[in-house]
Chains A and B, each alone.
Chain A
Amino acid sequence: MNESADYIQTVVTAALRGLLPVPAELSDSTNIVRDLGLDSVTVMDFVMETEERLDVSVPLDRISAVETIGDLVATLYDLECES
């Protein structure tokens, strides 16, 4: 069953909050690397958390195209719809 974009957003936000050492304001336009200071491997590990929760696999080329939280939510939503 496909998850709604709102649910995906909740999953992404929760996974990010669990990862950040200090609380941060998160929105669709938050740049995951620049604003949150995560390196590329940490981003891939964080995406793995969301994959697990949503039972979807995100190819590496799709991850590398993600810049903002909104991008990631949209990518996960598209993959859910494709599956």
Chain B
Amino acid sequence: MSLFDKFKPLSAQYTRLEASGANPFAIAFDRVLSPTEAMIGDSRILLLGTNNYLGLTYDTNIIAKTIETTQAFGTGTTGSRIANGSYDGHKKLERALKDFYGRKYAMVFSTGYQANLGIISTLAGKNDHLLLDADSHASIYDGSRLGHAQVTRFRHNDPNDLHKRLRRLADVPGDKIVVVEGIYSMLGDTAPLREFAQVKREWGAYLIVDEAHSLGVLGETGRGLAEMQNVESEVDFVVGTFSKSLGSVGGFCVSNLDDFDILRVACRPYMFTASLPPGVIAATMEALHQLRMRPELRLRLIENARRLYAGLTGLGFCLGPEPSPVVSAIMPDPETAFALWSDLLKAGLYTNVSLPPATPNGLALLRSSVSAAHTPQQIDHAIALFERTGRALGLVAAFTAAHTSHPIAASPSLSGASLM
């Protein structure tokens, strides 16, 4: 008996994947050229799976601020903010987030994962109740397991099911805390936040919205789905990440609830980890500034998202329910997802494979994410590669392929796209 025996089924699957010569979980880029291109060996790869929504990772101002701050403050903080002190940058970034969201309080975490882990596990105490959307990200589930509250899940994007569950808890002591996401990372769908807000108000619950994939993407000023659906005042806590639209790493939570700052000495994933390095803080500050000053990035992102969604729909791929920067094609099975992923990569296009249990309803997904930095030509090239490889695998019918040389023109269903 070995300690690792319990991993044997997983290990067998992984070994098969390695043997196939195309393992999406072990890919390494030898050089990254820009937000949209990288090199693997001698092959130039178009990047369509990076979550780099605003394409800010090579922005010269952001890089300059990172270098300048690193030279002034060093490479790392070498400790936690509670044990070893905050730097001026941490406080400035929290002020910038408060200003951006128009909220009284903000806390910065070392990753987005830790932001969910910390906020959810700390807010929901022993006698409280957490109600999670069934398709929640792993960090939300893990946060619920780290805490001591009773946890139930409601049907994905179903305010009526949430209503029933809160009704069942009506006479049960303890606070009720609901967790949903702005854009769901697997299929790119958005939450019916207005309806959820109504239900939470009716039952006196608290609402946490994870805007990881919607910060900088949705809303008139990029604050996310709550801004887009005009329900920010109903959202008690917004959690988010710096590692997608802001192009760095880290997470945050903002709120208007008084006493929020007590979490700084109660929230273990905040207290017992090293704080973000000064250079990362500076990069995030500058990226947030650019997010606010350059709304054209968001518009370009949305155009690209619609273009890819329309193109893949035109090829006959079955996609998530709405156009979004996450564009996932539903595959018949994991083997086909791996095959398409591998063939696309050989053709020079990098995407993602997403499999159960990370995906909803046991779906195997070939997931793409677009960037404001993509040119329309790059999106069209990606669509052409999907067409060629998809046809070779029998996923794109010859008839469809012959009629989609200009996919955007053939997309009337997108006239009511819900991105803005």
Q: Which residues of A are at the interface with B, using a C-beta cutoff of 8 A?
A: 39-42, 44-45, 48, 52, 55-61, 83
Contacts and interface: CB of A to CB of B under 8 A. Distances in A.
B153 A60 contact: yes
Nearest to A64: B145
Contact of B144 (A45, A52, A55, A60): A60
Given A41-B356, A55-B164, A60-B144, 4 more contacts: A39-B356, A45-B134, A56-B168, A61-B151
The SS class assigned to the A binding surface is helix
A58 B165 CA distance: 10
A36 B165 CA distance: 28
Nearest to B132: A60
Interface of B: 134, 144-145, 150-153, 155, 161, 164-165, 168-169, 356-357, 361-362
A61 B149 CA distance: 10
A41 B357 contact: yes
B357 A39 contact: yes
Contacts of B361: 45
Contacts of B150: 59, 61
B152 A55 contact: no
- Nearest 8 A/B pairs, CB to CB: A41-B357, A60-B151, A57-B152, A59-B150, A57-B165, A57-B168, A59-B152, A59-B151
A45 B168 CA distance: 19
24 contacts: A39-B356, A39-B362, A41-B356, A42-B362, A44-B134, A44-B153, A45-B134, A45-B361, A48-B134, A48-B153, A48-B155, A55-B168, A57-B152, A57-B165, A57-B168, A57-B169, A58-B152, A59-B152, A60-B145, A60-B151, A60-B152, A60-B153, A61-B151, A83-B168
B144 to A, nearest CB: 7
A16 B161 CA distance: 21
A45 B134 CA distance: 8
Contacts of B151: 59-61
A74 to B, nearest CB: 18
Contacts of A39: 356-357, 362
Contacts of B356: 39, 41
A44 B134 CA distance: 9
Contacts of B165: 57
A56 B145 CA distance: 21
Contacts of B168: 55-57, 83
A83 B168 CA distance: 8
Nearest to B166: A57
A72 to B, nearest CB: 15
The residue among A39, A40, A44, A57 with the most chain B CB atoms within 10 A of its own CB is: A57
Contacts of B164: 55
A38 B152 CA distance: 20
A57 B170 CA distance: 12
B243 to A, nearest CB: 25
A40 B155 CA distance: 16
Nearest to A83: B168
Nearest to B164: A55
A43 to B, nearest CB: 10
B140 to A, nearest CB: 12
Contacts of B145: 60
A10 B376 CA distance: 56
A49 B49 CA distance: 34
Nearest to A79: B168
A22 B268 CA distance: 47
Nearest to B362: A42
Contacts of B169: 57
A56 to B, nearest CB: 7
The residue among B144, B153, B161, B169 with the most chain A CB atoms within 10 A of its own CB is: B153
B357 A40 contact: yes
B149 to A, nearest CB: 9
A60 B165 CA distance: 14
The residue among A41, A42, A58, A61 with the most chain B CB atoms within 10 A of its own CB is: A41
Nearest to B169: A57
A60 to B, nearest CB: 5
Contacts of A57: 152, 165, 168-169
Contacts of A56: 168
Contacts of A40: 357
Contact of B362 (A41, A55, A60): A41
